[in-house]
């Protein structure tokens, strides 16, 4: 198997992770976490969401967070927006990328934003025009792209139509979201191969939740299909609104560790990322589900065992 030499890992914990946590972090805490992620070497960080504060109180301080983070040149700091008003707020804060979102499930989209898919896409037109006028990158999520808790399987043709709509809006990248952890590797490979064949000039990214433990297997399937952009949330922040108690986003440190062990460069400093994961765990006040956060790196284990062997037998 021939793997890509390098992939891009987008850190989405400050947005997708924190919005699903019960504890609402202070602005200071969010800024500390985002700055730690910047120091870890991420080139793309999804900072917040400019939704109505009443809808997601965890992210009600979006403007304050954007104003206070230490922005490193060359790093893309993005934000999710639901509509033109959200886009205006995001642009006023100087975001580098505006991300839209729509579900591949009619039922889920109506539950989530009270619109049909067609209505959501039509509403994106003025947003796309405003973002283009500002000279800012436009990207989009297709959520529930691999399955919906209301409708079950989602037709690949529908996902393809939505990706085409994003392309026509001027989006430079589209991220497929496995919102409730329903994807499997065969499905991921099939859909990604199809979309990369249809849209060879559009960046395709994958956003997996680890609800059923399949996230990293799905990443490998995406790699086999040629996808080189993946989302993660530090520590595995977040959850699943349809599976109380379930884990949420794939832990970024688990993702980076696996990729680097496979010989695939990410540009992320794993030790600094693990320090950020420990900070996230401290700030959120609960044990986070990331595996490498608990077990350490593969190389740490080897060093520890060798050191123990070198020390000789213990006891008398």
Q: Where are the domains of the chain?
A: 8-311
Active site residues: 240
Within the chain, which residues score under 50 in pLDDT? none
For the record, the structure tokens of 34 come out as 């985002």
Residues 217-240: pLDDT tens digits?
A: 999 999 999 999 999 999 999 876
- For 8-311, the fitting CATH number among 3.40.800.10, 3.40.50.300, 3.20.20.70, 3.40.50.720 is 3.20.20.70
pTM: 0.95
Residue 66 and residue 76 in contact, taking contact as beta carbons nearer than 8 Å: no
- Give the position of tokens 């859909």: 191
CB within 8 Å of 225: residues ≥ 6 apart: 188, 189, 192, 193, 196
Residue 120 and residue 113 in contact, taking contact as beta carbons nearer than 8 Å: yes
**For residue 301, what pLDDT is reported?**
86
**For residue 245, what pLDDT is reported?**
61
**For residue 303, what pLDDT is reported?**
82
């Amino acid at each position: 198997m021939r793997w890509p030499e390098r992939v891009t890992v987008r850190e989405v914990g400050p947005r997708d992770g924190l919005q699903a946590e019960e504890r609402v972090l202070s602005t200071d805490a969010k800024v500390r976490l985002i700055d730690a992620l910047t120091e870890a070497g991420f080139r793309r960080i999804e900072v917040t969401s400019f939704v109505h504060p009443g809808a997601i109180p965890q992210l009600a301080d979006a403007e304050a967070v954007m104003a206070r983070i230490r922005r490193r040149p060359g790093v893309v700091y993005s934000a999710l927006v639901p509509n033109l008003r959200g886009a205006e707020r995001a642009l006023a804060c100087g975001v580098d990328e505006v991300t839209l979102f729509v579900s591949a499930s009619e039922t889920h989209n109506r539950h989530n934003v009270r619109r049909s898919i067609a209505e959501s896409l039509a509403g994106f037109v003025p947003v796309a025009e405003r973002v283009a006028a500002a000279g800012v990158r436009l990207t989009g999520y297709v959520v529930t792209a691999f399955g919906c808790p209301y409708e079950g399987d989602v037709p690949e043709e529908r996902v393809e139509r939505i990706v085409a709509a994003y392309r026509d809006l001027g989006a430079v990248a589209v991220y497929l979201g496995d919102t409730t952890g329903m994807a499997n590797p065969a499905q991921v490979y099939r859909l990604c191969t199809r979309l990369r064949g249809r849209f060879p000039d559009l960046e395709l990214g994958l956003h997996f939740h680890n609800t059923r433990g399949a996230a990293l297997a799905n990443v490998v399937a995406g790699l086999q299909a040629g996808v080189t952009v993946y989302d993660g949330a530090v520590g595995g922040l977040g959850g699943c609104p349809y599976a109380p108690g379930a884990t949420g986003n794939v832990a970024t440190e688990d993702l980076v560790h696996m990729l680097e062990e496979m010989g695939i460069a990410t540009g992320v400093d794993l030790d600094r990322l693990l320090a950020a994961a420990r900070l996230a765990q401290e700030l959120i006040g609960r044990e986070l589900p990331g595996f490498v956060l608990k077990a350490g790196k593969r190389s740490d284990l080897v060093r520890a065992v060798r050191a123990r062997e070198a020390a000789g037998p213990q006891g008398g």
